[in-house]
Amino acid sequence: MHNKTKLLLSLSFSILLTSCAATNKQLTAPISPLAGPPIQDTKTPYSTMLTCIGEAANNLNVRRISLAVNPIPDKTGKFNYSDEGYQVTQGAEDMMVSALAKTGAFTLVERNMLEVTQMEMQYANQFLLSDADPKKNVIDSQGRLARALRSGMVIGSDYVVAGSISEINYNIGSGGFNLTIDGIGAGWQAFWMDIGMDLRVINTDTTEIVMALPLRKQVWGYQNQAGIVHFFGNTYVNAAAGSIRQEPIELAVRSIIEDAVGDITKQLYHLPANTCQNTPVEMPPLVPTANIATPTKPLGKTSLIENLNQAQSADDTTPTNVAPIEAPQRLPSTKPISVPASSQIPSPATAEAITPKAGKP
């Protein structure tokens, strides 16, 4: 009996050592990282329209307008100290630069992050910095090479775009249903919120505000759920399934900015209001197209909040996944909800055409 016990202990110890060795080998062996979807260009439903407007501006035989972008801060005051921090993107300025660059119609100049430029100018002025391109260097009286500082080498701006993210309003509407019969049920819930931005274009020669754009967009999300709670004989069964989707708030901010840049480009280059009105608005659905009706008629800029039914003026000949946009109208990514008349916000007036500076288009 004693020998059997010793044999069992020896076998157990051997198996344990073998397991540890295999485990250590698994832990030290390299693993292949989980690869998700491929990298894509960041686009919004308004990107195609924006590119079209930029091409129209580039086809004009005029001097390119020079633009700078001021910081566009988050002024909503919404901050969660216990969980998520800022409730909306802090990168609106970068989104604005990307949208302006997407048009290809402007000369963009930096006015905010100038530390490196100023440092190199200071070093060049002290003959401490030379350039890799010999044509950009000069030789001082002592034979030292340094980058040449020329009068007028910094490009000036004609206009500067400024503004802020000014509003974020949670749960401006919600709804849904839930039905349970004999322990078997299903439900659907949806909620809406909106986010607003106030942007302006400033003439850098005169400091005149030549254009103001108060814009807002509704954001929505939904939740599907189904479940069963039942006794099958003596067996208790509780099963549930569901899904939650929400339109990204940052995508809404980028959409507002790209739509605003389209208006800015048309105003500064004096393009017709109907420029690119037939450009399709690319609406990537957040849910299967069978579950949501995409409006086929654009909502006017003067109708910020309309009844749900008015958003679906459908044309049988119009594809459900493509909707034309009539500049300067804008199309929300889903149907806006109706709100009490007392809480409706006045529609922003369309900016008047500006008077160009002398020598500008």
**Beta strand residue intervals within 21-158, DSSP E:** 65-69, 79-80, 85-86, 106-109, 137-139, 145-147
Residue 49: predicted pLDDT: 92
How far is it, in rounded angstroms, from Cα 332 to Cα 292? Answer: 13
Sign of the dihedral defined by the CA atoms of residues 248, 70, 168, 296, in that order: negative
Residue 234 to residue 287: CA distance in whole angstroms: 39
The alpha helices in 207-301, defined as continuous H runs, are: 249-268
Q: Establish if 237 belongs to a structural domain.
A: no
| 311-314: long-range contacts, CB 8 A cutoff, minimum separation 24 | 311/335, 311/336
- Between CA 230 and CA 225 the distance in angstroms is 17
Number of domains into which the chain is organized? 1
For residue 340, cis peptide bond before it (omega within 30 degrees of 0):
no
Q: Look up residue 318 and give its DSSP letter.
A: S
Q: What pTM did the predictor assign?
A: 0.67
Nearest C-alpha neighbor of 158 from the set 240, 231, 69? 69
Query: Is residue 271, in this structure, part of any structural domain at all?
Result: yes
Please give the helix or strand (H or E) that residue 77 lies within, else none. none
Q: Please, what is the end-to-end C-alpha distance for the chain in angstroms?
A: 104
Please provide the size of the chain in residues: 361
Question: Using CA atoms, how far apart are residues 172 and 192, in angstroms rounded to an integer?
Answer: 6
Q: State whether residue 32 is helix, strand or coil.
A: coil
Q: Which phi and psi angles does 225 have, rounded to 5°?
A: -150, 150
Nearest-angstrom CA–CA distance, 27 and 207? 64
| Angle at alpha carbon of residue 95, lines to 91 and 100, rounded to 5° | 150
pLDDT at 134: 80
**Does residue 23 fall inside a structural domain?**
no
Residue type, 340: P
Q: How far out from the chain centre does Cα 284 lie? A: 14
Dig out the tokens for 250 from the structure. Answer: 């940052």
Q: For residue 146, is it within any domain?
A: no
- Domain presence at residue 4: no
- Radius of gyration of the CA atoms of the chain, in A: 30
Q: What is the token pair recorded at 138?
A: 């000069």
CATH of the domain at 207: 3.40.50
257 assigned to some structural domain = yes
State which amino acid sits at residue 96.
M
Distance CA 10, CA 183 (A): 56
The parent domain of residue 284 ranges over: 47-111+157-169+197-217+252-331+338-343
User: Does residue 262 fall inside a structural domain?
Assistant: yes
Instruction: Please check whether residue 306 lies inside any domain of the structure.
Output: yes
Owner of token pair 């006794």? 231
Per-residue pLDDT for the chain (361 aa), expressed as one digit of tens each? Answer: 556 556 555 666 666 656 665 555 566 778 888 888 888 888 899 999 999 999 999 999 899 999 999 999 999 887 776 666 777 889 999 999 999 999 999 999 999 989 898 998 888 888 888 887 888 888 877 777 888 888 888 999 999 999 999 999 888 888 888 888 877 888 888 989 999 999 999 999 999 999 999 999 999 888 888 888 766 677 777 788 888 888 888 999 999 999 999 999 999 999 999 999 887 766 554 444 333 333 333 333 333 333 333 333 433 333 333 333 333 334 344 444 444 443 343 433 333 433 444 444 4
